[in-house]
Each structure stands twice: as C-alpha cells, then as structure tokens.
C-alpha cells in the first residue's frame, strides 16, 4: 500500500530501500557515520556491563512474551522501540504512531498524550509468534532511550505522587507506602495515599518486602528489567540528555528525517539535576546506598557516574 502523507512523501513502505539497520552499520552519509561511532561506544558499554555482571552467561533466563510488552514494532520501517516511562516515551509513542499509521497521522504533537498511551494504537512484540519475534529481533533496528536513573526516579515521584489528579496511583501505591512506611499515619492518609513523602517512597523501593511482593511499577522499574538489554541487542541507545540529536538521528536512519522531526518543547516543570539533588538531601546515606544498589546496573550500563550529591560511605 502506498499512502501519501500530507508532506507529499511516501511514508510507506520502504521495500527496495536500505533498512535502518543497514544504514546504521554501513552508513552512506558521512554525517551519519560520525554519530555511528558514538553509538558503538554506548553499545560496547552495555555489552561490557552485561559481561562483567555475567548476565549474558549461558544460564541466562529465556525471555517470555510478557517480557516483550514494552517493545513497540514498526513494520514499515523495520524498527523496534523499547519505551521507558519518564524518558520522553509519550513523544516517542506519538512518533511511532505517525510512522506506523500509514498516513493517518502526520504531526506527532497533534496526537493527545492519553491517546499515545492507548495500547491498541501501537503493536508490541509480544503479540507475534515466536518465529516472528525472532525474525524481528534479528532483522529490525532496535533502540531505546535512557536517563540518569535518579533523575528519572524523582521525575516519576513528582508526576505520580505530587499531582492531585493521579488518584489511581495514590490509591494503588500511595496507601500501601503510607501504611508500610509511616508511623502513626492518620486515617485520611491511609485512605487517600496522596501525600507520600519522597523519603517514604525511597524506603518503599529499598524494602525487600516490596521487591518480593510484585515487580516494580514501570515508572520506577529499572531500564535493565523493562528492556532486557543483556538479552536483546540494542542497536541504538538514545539518551535523554541528547534527546533531540539522538531522536533525529534515528528518524534519519529510518529515511523519514526530511519530513519528520522529533517534537521538542521545553517543559518548564521538567525534573533537573538540581531538583534531584534537593530531593536527595533528606535521604540518609544508608538509604542512598541501598537505593543506588537497586539502580546500579542502569548507572553502569548506560555510563552514568555516581551523583556527587550521594553520601555513599
């Protein structure tokens, strides 16, 4: 099917042209080859970390379809995107809807945020048969975006626990955190769970009981557990810190860079490094150390240094 999109470009289908994977590993443009070196360094860092932590040993567990529900598939451009909440995933889902919509959408920012998160709007890898999954993992370009782990964590906390409209999170997690972490909690706090302090949230995350009980919610789950980078070889690791360049590089590789740009708009409420530093002021050094252990693989794998505000003994 050839659909014209409003830009007058054929957005589908790329048969006959080079795939993003070919363009990444054998770039035809000089401008793309310099960036390719940077991404090679990022890939090597992941491989080395997996090896050092012997997670890629022969005994590794086999991924189940349930492990693949964060991997969004774009058939037309032969790409797979693993989305990580709090790392520009709303905008990337919007872009994926433009790429896979066969001309139904042209401007990512015209897609309402809540619509981007409707699961039926995008196809994920767990919806395919095992042979189809393996074929796509081998032949499609796989990418994800990462962010400094504690900045991402503070961003998740601010969004889910300090916004009044997030009542489902307050009920589901807030009440549990208050019950478990707050001595002499009021009846109202136990019922609403809408005033969780960051210190209580951290105590909840490092509590062994929490980790035994159920997997972390995706908004604070480690990237390592969401996207399985030791089991799935990602061709591109984009960073939140270089979001625009990395995103537009991917769109260039996909052959759509001339008419589709990654939406950028500075959100004034964005969680920054300074803000994160402030949030950690009241966390004891013991809790800081335990929390670092939870997210340690994400720090190492994606080359984030230990934050200088941490009071690690």
* Residue 17: both structure tokens together: 């042209």
The b-or-e profile of 99-116 (16+ CB within 10 A means b, else e) is bbbebebeebeebeeeeb
Strands ordered across the beta sheet of 79-82: 123-124, 71-74, 79-82, 141-146, 236-239
Residues 74 and 99: beta-carbon distance below 8 Å: yes
Reading the block at residue 280, the tokens are 């950690």
CA Rg value for the chain = 21
Q: Which of 82-86, 164-168, 243-247 has the lowest mean pLDDT?
A: 164-168
CB of 128 closer than 8 Å to CB of 195: no
Q: Which residues pair with 239 in a beta bridge?
A: 146
- Residue identified by tokens 């989305």 is 83
- Six-digit token pair at 64? 């189940």
pLDDT value at 75 more than 70? yes
Average pLDDT, the chain: 90
pLDDT-derived band at 243, boundaries 50, 70, 90: very high
Distance CA 39, CA 246 (A): 9
3-class DSSP state of 237: strand
pTM of the entire structure?
Answer: 0.91
Q: What confidence score (pLDDT) does residue 280 get?
A: 96
**Strands 71-74 and 79-82: what pairing?**
antiparallel
Q: What is the DSSP string of 38-71?
A: HHHHHHHHHHHHHHHTTTTSTTPPPP-GGGGTTE
Beta strand extents in the chain (DSSP E only)? 71-74, 79-82, 123-124, 141-146, 236-239
pLDDT at 211: 85
Note the pLDDT tens digit of each residue in 39-50. 999 999 999 999
Report yes or no: 275 and 309 within 8 Å, Cβ to Cβ. no
116 — phi, psi (to 5°)? -65, -25
Q: Kindly indicate the confidence band of residue 28, based on its pLDDT and cuts at 50, 70 and 90.
A: confident
pLDDT interval class at 264 (50, 70, 90): confident
Cα 311 from Cα 309, distance rounded (Å): 6
Least confident of 27-41, 72-86, 151-165, 190-204: 27-41
Q: Give dist(CA 82, CA 79) in Å, integer.
A: 10
Can you give the pLDDT at residue 149?
A: 98
Find, among 66, 73, 43, 65, the residue nearest to 140 by Cα.
Answer: 73
Read off the pLDDT of residues 230-239 as tens digits, 9 standing for 90 and up: 999 999 999 9
- 95-113: average pLDDT: 93
């Amino acid at each position: 099917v050839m659909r014209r999109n409003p830009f007058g470009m054929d957005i589908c289908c790329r048969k006959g042209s080079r795939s993003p994977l070919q363009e990444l590993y054998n770039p035809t443009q000089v401008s793309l080859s310099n960036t390719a070196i940077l991404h090679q360094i990022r890939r090597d860092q992941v491989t080395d970390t997996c090896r050092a932590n012997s997670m890629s040993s022969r005994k590794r567990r086999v991924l189940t379809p349930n492990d693949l529900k964060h991997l969004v598939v774009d058939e037309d451009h032969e790409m797979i995107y693993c989305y990580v909440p709090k790392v520009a995933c709303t905008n990337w889902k919007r872009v994926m809807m433009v790429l896979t919509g066969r001309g139904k959408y042209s401007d990512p920012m015209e897609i309402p945020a809540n619509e981007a998160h409707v699961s039926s709007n995008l196809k994920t890898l767990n919806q395919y048969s095992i042979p189809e999954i393996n074929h796509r993992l081998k032949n499609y370009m796989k990418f994800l975006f990462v962010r400094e782990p504690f900045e991402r964590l503070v961003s998740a906390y601010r969004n889910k626990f300090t916004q009044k409209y997030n009542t489902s999170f307050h009920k589901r997690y807030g009440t549990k955190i208050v019950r478990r972490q707050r001595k002499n909690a009021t009846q109202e706090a136990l019922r609403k769970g809408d005033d969780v302090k960051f210190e209580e949230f951290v105590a909840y995350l490092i509590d062994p009981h929490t980790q035994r009980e159920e997997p972390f919610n995706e908004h604070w789950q480690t990237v390592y557990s969401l996207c399985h980078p030791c089991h799935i070889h990602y061709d591109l690791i984009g960073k939140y810190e270089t979001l625009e360049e990395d995103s537009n590089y991917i769109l260039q590789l996909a052959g759509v860079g001339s008419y589709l740009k990654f939406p950028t708009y500075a959100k004034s409420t964005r969680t920054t490094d300074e803000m994160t530093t402030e949030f950690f002021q009241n966390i004891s050094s013991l809790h800081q150390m335990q929390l670092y252990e939870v997210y340690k693989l994400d720090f190492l794998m994606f080359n984030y240094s230990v934050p200088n505000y941490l009071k690690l003994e």
